[in-house]
Structure formats: C-alpha cells, structure tokens
Structure 1
Amino acid sequence: MASPFRVVVVGAGVSGLAASHCLHAAGIEHVVLERRSEVAPPEGASITIYPQVLRALHQLGCYEPLTKAATPHDRAWTRWADGSVAANSGLYDYLKENHGVDILPLERRKFLEVMYERLPDKNVVRTSSKIKEIKHLASGVEVELSDGSIERGDMVLGCDGVHSFVRSLMWDQAEATSPGLIPAKEKTAFKTYWKCLIGIGPPASSLGGSDSTMVHNTGYSHLVLAQPHCTFFFVFFLLDKPFNASDRVRYTDEDAEALAATVADDPLSESLTFGDLWRRRVRGALISLEEGILEHWHHGRIALAGDAVHKMTPNIALGGNTAIEDIIVLTNHLHHLLQTQPRPDTASLAKTFAAYQAERMARIKWATNTSGLMSRIQAQTTTFHKLGAWLLVRLPDRGAADKLLADYIRAGPKLDFLRVQGFPRGKLAWGDEGGDGRGLGGEAVVRSGAHQGAVGRLLLTVGAALGVAALASATRHVLFPLVAGA
C-alpha cells in the first residue's frame, strides 16, 4: 500500500500550529519541526484574534479555550501627544454586534499554549529540530535536520517567519532549476521601516480594565492594551532611513533602555506615563519591524505562509490573523486536490500552490497597505497622515466598524470541508453565506500600493462616513494650515 500524502511543516509558531490543526482536520498526515526547545517561549507581547479567524478556530475546537484565556476589549481610547483625549470609542461593541463575537487580545505565548494543548496529537510536533537541507526527489522531499535525521514527505510548508530558512532554500532550489525566476530585487523586498519597544507589564488601573489606548506623536506612536492581569505595550518608531530586512539589526537591552528613556515622560493616561509602565515591566525588548509582500510563495514542492511571504506592521493586529488565514486557504486547496489525486505530482502541487497564492494576494495587499497606512497615521509621519489622524478620531464608532472593517472581516475564509456549528452570529452575514464581502466601504484602501495614495482614498471613505460638511471643515481647518506650514 502506498504511503499517504505527508506535509513537513517547518516552524511551530502561530501559522505552524494552525497548520497542524487544519491538516489534522483535513485528514492530512504531517509533522511540525520547531528549532527551539519549547513551543511557547516567553517572548513577544500580544496577539489579537479577529472574528473571521475565530470562526475558523471554532471549527477546530479552539474558540472556547481562547475565550477563557482573554478578556475582550471594552473602550478604544485615542490620545494626542500631550495626553489629551482625542476619542473614546465603543468600536469594539459595534464589531461584536456586526460579527457575533469579540476581538480577543491575549498574550502571544498564551495563544501558542492554547493552540498546542488543543492539538489532537501533540506527537506531530518535534522541538529542537533545526533543518539543514531540503532535497527534492522525483516523488517527494527529504528534509535533513542538524542532528542528521531525515523527515520525508510530499511537500514542505515554510511557517518559519520573516527570516525564513525554508524560503532561502526555496530560492536556492529555484535558481538551480529555473535561473532568474526569482529576481534579486525580490530577495530584498522586505524592508525594515520601524523599530519597536514591545513588552508586558502589570495591570494599570488608569488604563481601564480591558481598554486599548493609542497615543499619536510625531514620528512615533504608543499602543497600550490593558487586561485585568497585565498590560501589553508597543512604541513604534519610524526609522530615518529604511534598510533591507536581511541586514538584521539585533538590539541590546542597553539600546532598549536608551530609547525608552527618550519617551519616558509621554503620558498614556491622566496619571500614567510610559516611563512608569517601562520601569514596572515584566519583560521588554527593542525589535525591528519589517514590511513587504513577496511575489513568489512557492516553488517545486515548497510552499510558504505567514511572515515568510508577507510582513505588516502590528498596529491593527492583522499579521497573525493573515498567517492563520493563509493556512486555512492552503489547506482547503490541498484537501480539494487530494480528493482526486491522493499522491499528486509536482505539477499538480504547483497548480494548487498557485491557486492558494492567487486567492490570498488581494487580501494580503489590503492588510499590508492598511496596516502600514494606519501606522503612519498614528505616527503622523507626513502632512497627509496628520490629516488622516485628525479625521479618523472624528469618524463615528458605527462608521469605523461598518466603513473600514466590516468588508474585511466578512470576507475571511473558513475551512470549506467542515461545517460551522454553534458559532455566535452577528447582524452581518459572512461573505460565504451569500454576500461577497464587499460593498460596505474599504475598497478605497485596498487598491493602493502606495501609503500616501492610500491616505487620499482613505480620506474619501472617512469623508463619506462623516459627511461633506465635516470633510470641508477638515480641509479648511487642518489641511490648509498644514500645507502652508509644510
């Protein structure tokens, strides 16, 4: 009897653990290789899961345990640099009304723990397994590990992050078999535009029990997410000059301390400064943030997902969600293929991988561009972004939920071979329930690849929600003075 189709997943982070869940649900044999000695190391800060991804995680039996590990956001505060309140929004309530469930913020480490503990078979995850080489055979792949052991399968799925080793091996394979297929410029497509102080501190009553707070500054911004048991914090600094992500910068604790000192006096509420939060931190670090989208997500029997092929700023928390969505869509295509070809050849896999990428690309461009746009608005990096900041805080809560987010959430994918049973319903139908996930606004931002172009389109969307009078007022009182002083 022929051996079953098998996937070798590299990386046991957000996308890697999601892959294990989805592949198991599809009845696809697999192994997950993780180079670290543990699945959920004490690193990073938070991850926020959107309703469309929670719907898919509900299909996998993970939604309920995640709700027990997180406290939904209450209010969304926006403040100016002096600490004054620009907006106090009930956006999260409207999102739940629209889509049936809350957006869930939780510690990234806790998310990984829940995903790992809910695996139907934990034995598929191999820790301390660093890959050394991938060999393409006539009917499969061999993945050699640093300890000399071999994992065999029919394909490799690279879920190993922005500095993906699988991607590097895929590029080498492509150059050997199809010289010039992947141009040199694609290998530097990821650019580092930001550095970010991230961390976790104790709860702070002045930030609210479960509120989010965003503080506008010039050239940088603060984001603070309160939870009953802790506080997640981020400070995003736009670099003077971006550089290739491959030229990695490893910041030290001293670098983090020095940068934190420059913003220590920034108010986060009426009685709390960033310095107060930083001094009481449980952990904190200074990291680089990359942006970009690759044009080649696969070659031969290798496919990539998540940060290995697209990277966006975390200001609106779409990175982890898009990574999980990648896995959902790829699993759907693999499941469909295997119904007719239990052991597909390389050409059939290539068509399946291409279909996966094609289905994802427009949505990834929207998420990446919108994330970058919002990051720049929050940091008020140009005149146009300052205008965007002024307008956005005047957008009604309902307008923000309906005009800027509803389309994106409604169009999220699910596992198409599993039913959705018992998931809470909102007032809006999902795109796969008869709607197309479009038509509520948001198209303005989707089509623009340039951040400044996206600002103009975003202003049209916001203006439509606010009304002509408000947009005219914004132009008269904000745009003209800014341009005059630029």
Structure 2
Amino acid sequence: MARAVVIGGGVGGLSAGVALSRKGWEVTVLERATALENVGSGLALAPNALRALDTVGLGDPVRELARVQGAAGLRRPDGRWLSRTSQERARARYGDGVVLMRRRVLVDLLADALDRRNLRLGAEVIELDPGSGTVGTEAETFHADLVVAADGIHSRTRRQVFPGHPDPVYSGVTAWRGLLPRPAGHALQSVETWGAGLVWGTHELAGDLVYFYATDLAEAGTRAGDERAGLLRRFGGWHDPIPALLAAVDPEAILRNDVYYQATPLPRLHHGRVALLGDAAHAMTPNLGQGACQSIEDAVVLAHHAGGDLAGYTAARLRRTAGVVRMSARICRATKLRHPIATGLRDLGMTAAGRLSSDLMLRAMDAVLDWRPPVSSNGRAPAGRG
C-alpha cells in the first residue's frame, strides 16, 4: 500500500489525509501542536469547496452541521446597501449555496473521517528529504511515497524545497475575528460593510452563534492592550448590529492576526516527493473567503493525481490558485482606500453595478465558484451533489 505523510493538521492537511485515504493510501498526519486547531472563528464554505467535499463523502455532513447563508451583500457604515444577492440566485447559478460553520467543527469532522489513530499530535518534523520521502520527528521516522506540506503560511517545508523564493508579504491590513452568542432582539444577515480603509463582516452560524471579522490598515506587528476598545473606536458608530456585537463580545475571545499573502507564485507546487497545499502553497488575503475552500480543492485534486506524476497536480492547481490569490488581493486593495473621493467613487461604482444587474456580484465569482472536481480515471464524475 502506498504511504503518504501529511505535515500539518489544519483544514488543508486533514482534507488531504481524508482524500488520500479514500483512494487507498496509508496516511499519517503530523501536527506539531499538542491539540487540534481550536481557533474561535468561523468560516464560509462556497459551492466549489462543497463539491470537493462531496467527492470524499463529507459534503452532506458539512451541510447538516452548517448554517446556510441567506441574503448577503455589501453595505456602507451608515447601513445603506451597495449590492445584494440571495441564496436562491446562488443555488440557481452554481447548484449549491454558501454554508457557514465554526472552524473547529469542520476540523473535528475531518479528523474523525481520517481516523484519529492516523493523527500524531505534538509531532514536529525535524527531518525531511524531498527526494526519498523520509520524514522524521523526535519519536518516529517515516518513509513516504508522498509527502504533503500543509504546514501553513510560514511553511518550513516551502522554504526548504524552494530556498530563496519570496515569502508571503504583508498586505498592509490587520484582521480581528470573534465568536459570540447572538444578542437577543437582533436579526442578522450575512453582511460585509466597507468604510474608509475599514471592513466589518457579520455571519450567523449554527447554534445561534455569530461570527464577526474586521480589518484596518496597520503596521505589521501592531497590537493593542484592549482590542475590543480599539474596535469600538473604529466601528462603534456603524450601523446595527455592529455596536451591539462589540458590546456583547468577551474581549478575551477576540483574535488578531496580520494578513499576509503569497504575492509571488511558486514555480510549481511539487518538488521530488513533496506536494505543497493550502497556505503553504498559495496563502491569500481573506477577502474572497477562499482560503479554506482552495485548500480543500487542493486536497481532492492531489489525491486524484497522487501515485502518478505530481506535475499533473501542479498543472491543475498552480494557475488557478495564483488567480484566486490575485483576485483576493485586488479586493483587499479596494478595501484599503481612505481618501473620500476614492471611497466615494468605489461605492458609487458598486451601487451602479448592482442596479444594472442584481447578479453582477455572483457573476464576478464564476471563475472561482464554478469549479468542478477532476473526473475519475474510469471516466465518471465523482459521486456527490455537485
């Protein structure tokens, strides 16, 4: 039986482990942390990611555990709508909608599907030979036919196999995330609000939980003693329910991370027996909500090509992921505008486009969301709803 070792136990690494095991590989996932990711945040899984999950039998379990996104759109800080779309339009266009869930719920679902006996926690990789596939930790040494590098944005594996290639660069914005119970009396929608260099997003998750995120321009490494107080200064005067959410959230539950992305694409996504996946391969800004989605796509495509020439994986993924990175970075740049004339023209353009076509927001995402998983070698499409 072919053996794969996956370095990294996040969404991408676990997805790769599941996808490879479904193809008959013996899989071991190595995670240097002593516990699986338990970040207090949510994520959105778009139709492309759901189709990928369908190929490994997890699409419907995810749909059952997640909350279906309802109407969504963009607003100004005063609450005026810039553009809107609906779940019905998304389903009609892509055959599925967007679902929202806690990140930890997805991680646990993937870990269970992998079989946790194949997961090593507290296992930091200290040896890697891309040519032979030798992977070593302090406790074990593995000889793998395939090594999957899913070790995140600051991937040691990427630096080893592509020495001298530019690291991810700072986008110029920092991001906050948080989870809290839905405040009583507040009806919520999936909304993103753009101001002058500022962004706020709100999504309701299953179990009456609310996930929010926010971004602002800042120097890398900047931190505040009280992050909630900083958010209140920035967003406390914006439309409902933003002030209520900030009033209700536990300050200790607010996460802050600077946003980096892979501005210079890698020359390829493989080297020797190593294949790179997710943030290790193509870190992106969060503006399209595609970070986790693209890593899940990577996983099922890699499993499709594994056992053969990994050049097929690179051919299938490099151009696509580089395009998603660029698209997300363009949106990030638009959110960074601060001059009143520039933000006014930006908002006017989005409003006018929405009036011309209610589906413009969706059509702009066709290249991303209309992706289909690879067809199996017997010529049949993978099982699933996509």
Call closer, same or farther: CA 1:270–1:323 in 2, change over 3 Å: closer
Q: CA deviation at 1:281?
A: 5.9
**Unaligned segments of structure 2, at least 5 residues:** none
Partner SS state of residue 193, structure 2: strand
CA contact (8 A) 1:19 1:327 kept: yes
Q: Is 1:423 aligned with 2:381?
A: no
Q: Is the 8 A contact 2:376 2:382 kept in 1?
A: no
Shift of 1:326: 1.5
2:304 aligns with one of 332, 335, 340: 332
**Counterparts in 2 of 1:32 and 1:320: CA distance versus 1, 3 Å:** same
> Identity percentage over the alignment?
21
Residue in structure 1 matched with residue 201 of structure 2 by the alignment: 223
Q: What is the CA distance between 1:333 and its match in structure 2?
A: 1.6
Residue of structure 2 in register with 1:368 after alignment: 325
CA contact (8 A) 1:33 1:127 kept: yes
Q: Which residue of 2 aligns with 1:95?
A: 90
- Where does structure 1 lack aligned partners over 5 or more consecutive residues? 172-181, 244-248, 338-351, 425-486
Compared CA separation, residues 108 and 319, structure 1 to 2 (3 A):
same
Secondary structure at 1:197 match in 2: strand
Instruction: Give the Cα separation in 1 of the matches to 2:375 and 2:48.
Output: 11
- Contact in 2 for aligned 1:215/1:378 (Cα 8 Å): no
**AA matched with 1:303:** A
On the 8 A contact 2:74/2:81 being kept in 1, the answer is yes
What is aligned with 2:156? 165
Cα distance between partner residues in 1 of 2:34 and 2:351: 45
TM-score (normalised: structure 1) = 0.71
Q: Deviations over 1:437-483 (max 9, x none)?
A: xxxxxxxxxxxxxxxxxxxxxxxxxxxxxxxxxxxxxxxxxxxxxxx
**Residue 126 (structure 1) aligns with:** 120
Question: Helix, strand or coil for the counterpart of 2:266?
Answer: coil
Counterpart position of 2:351: 393
The alignment status of 1:406 with 2:358, answered yes or no, reads no
Distance 1:369 1:91 in 2: 26
**Aligned counterpart, 2:135:** 143
The CA deviation at 1:112 is 0.7
Do the aligned partners of 1:266 and 1:274 also contact (CA within 8 Å) in 2? no
* Structure 1 contact 190–311 (Cα < 8 Å) conserved: no
The separation in 1 between residues aligned to 2:171 and 2:332, in whole angstroms, is: 13
Contact 2:6–2:13, Cα closer than 8 Å, also in 1: yes
Equivalent in the alignment of 2:53: 57
Q: Aligned equivalents of 2:229 and 2:243: distance in 1? A: 20
* 1:13-412 alignment, distance < 5 Å: 13-41=10-38, 43-81=39-77, 83-87=78-82, 89-119=84-114, 121-136=115-130, 140-145=132-137, 147-171=138-162, 182=163, 184=164, 186-204=165-183, 208-209=187-188, 211-227=189-205, 229-239=208-218, 249=221, 254=225, 256-257=227-228, 259-269=230-240, 272-273=243-244, 275-277=246-248, 279-280=249-250, 283-292=253-262, 293-296=264-267, 297-335=269-307, 337=308, 352-381=309-338, 386-394=344-352, 395=354, 396-401=357-362, 403-412=363-372
Name the CA shift for 1:61/1:236 in 2 (closer, same or farther; >3 Å): same
Q: For 2:75 and 2:332, locate their aligned partners in 1 and report how far apart those are by CA, in whole Å.
A: 15
* Residues 52 and 266 of structure 1: CA distance in aligned 2, closer, same or farther (over 3 Å): same
Aligned to 1:466: none
Q: Which SS does the other structure have where 1:31 is aligned? A: strand
CA distance in 2, matches of 1:213, 1:133: 45
* Cα distance in 2 between the residues matched to 1:207 and 1:316: 26
Q: What are the Cα deviations for residues 278-310 of structure 1, in whole angstroms up to 9, with x where unaligned?
A: x44671111111122432333222221110121
Describe the superposition over 1:63-104 as per-residue Cα deviations: whole angstroms up to 9, x where unpaired.
1211121111112143212x2322462333211111222211
Shift of residue 57 of structure 1? 0.9
Matches of 2:350 and 2:385 in 1, distance apart?
Answer: 32
Q: Which amino acid aligns with 2:347?
A: A
Partner of 1:309, secondary structure, is helix
SS at match of 1:266: coil
For 2:79 and 2:186, how far apart are their aligned partners in 1? Answer: 14
Cα distance in 1 for partners of 2:48, 2:328 equals: 17
Aligned AA (1:234): Y
Letter in 1 for 2:317: R
Provide the rounded CA distance (Å) in 2 between the counterparts of 1:253 and 1:238. 14
Larger-gyration structure (1/2): 1
Distance in structure 2 (CA, Å) of the matches to 1:262 and 1:275: 10
TM-score, length-normalised on structure 2? 0.88
CA separation in 1, counterparts of 2:241 and 2:296? Answer: 37
Choose between structure 1 and 2: higher helix proportion. Answer: 1
Moved over 6 A (4+): none
CA change 1:271–1:221 in 2 (3 A) is closer
Equivalenced residue count is 377
